[in-house]
Structure 1
Amino acid sequence: MGKFDDLPETRRRGLERMEQVYGFEMTDGTGDFFAYTADHLFADIWNRPGLTDRDRRLLLIGLLAGSHQHDVLTIQIPAAYAAGELDEQQLREIVILLCHYAGWPTGSRVNQIVEETIAQAARQARPGG
């Protein structure tokens, strides 16, 4: 029995998908905002055919960087790396491309997030890390 089995099917699918996308445990929430996020965005949109999770993540990273939503990038970049959707080399290539298309300050901030992500994963991979 799963932890979301007592919830309606759409909410269960949404919360399970949120955990897959973000890489951390979710709990059920309240209010319209949470309902649209879990029931529509994750139960429906993130489960649609046609794009892989990696495709969606690349689009989202580009959009977030271009609109200077660096706080959300601190969630998306580590999640993409942890899920194996993007490796160190690919993340660093994204930084170089973004520097030239979104501007150096934006690319620089994304680079900081990428390097922090890689360093954090290396620390956790070490014994006792």
Structure 2
Amino acid sequence: MKKDEAYDRGRAMRFDMFGEPGVAGIEQADDFQEPLQDMVTRLCFGDIWSRPGLDRKTRSMLTIALIIGQSRPDQLKNHIKGAIANGVTKEEIREILVHATIYVGLPATSDSWRHAREALIDAGAY
């Protein structure tokens, strides 16, 4: 993996948001998984998450809403923990869930409520 400024920014942000587990995937990636870890580190966190137009808290809130809409529980749990690190509160996460329930629909969000609660408990924010 070629390291550059975007890579370094992305790795640092992944560590800030998710701690050691957030960078473990980078360290443990084999030659098959390396392209994914590179894209996540460099493009997702090094470029998109690092853009100046929105702060990290706002990006976390948007990401949670989008992931709820996609019904991706593992990603939701992970990003709720990252959102807590970015200053999003339990109450704000609850409001995102309420809002998403109306706009995305009950079947897609009912599991998200449970997964969000588990993630908040795991993060010590419940």
Q: TM-score, normalised by structure 1?
A: 0.74
- Provide the aligned C-alpha RMSD in A: 2.4
1:105 maps to a residue whose letter is: P
Q: In the TM superposition, what are the counterparts of 1:34-113 in structure 2 within 5 Å?
A: 34-81=37-84, 83-113=85-115
User: Residue 35 of structure 2 is aligned with which of 22, 27, 32?
Assistant: 32
Give structure 2 stretches of 5+ with no counterpart: none
Percent of pairs with identical residues: 26
Structure 1 distance, partners of 2:40, 2:20, is 16
Give structure 1 stretches of 5+ with no counterpart: 1-6
Q: Alignment length, in residue pairs?
A: 117
Q: Is the 8 A contact 2:77 2:118 kept in 1?
A: no
Structure 2 distance, partners of 1:34, 1:120, is 24
Per-residue deviation, residues 59-100 of structure 1 (Å, max 9, x unmatched):
11111111212221010012212x152212111112211111
- Name which structure has the greater RCO, CA cutoff 8 Å, separation 6+: 2
Q: Note the C-alpha offset of 1:52.
A: 0.6
Runs of 4+ in 1 over 4 A off after TM superposition: none
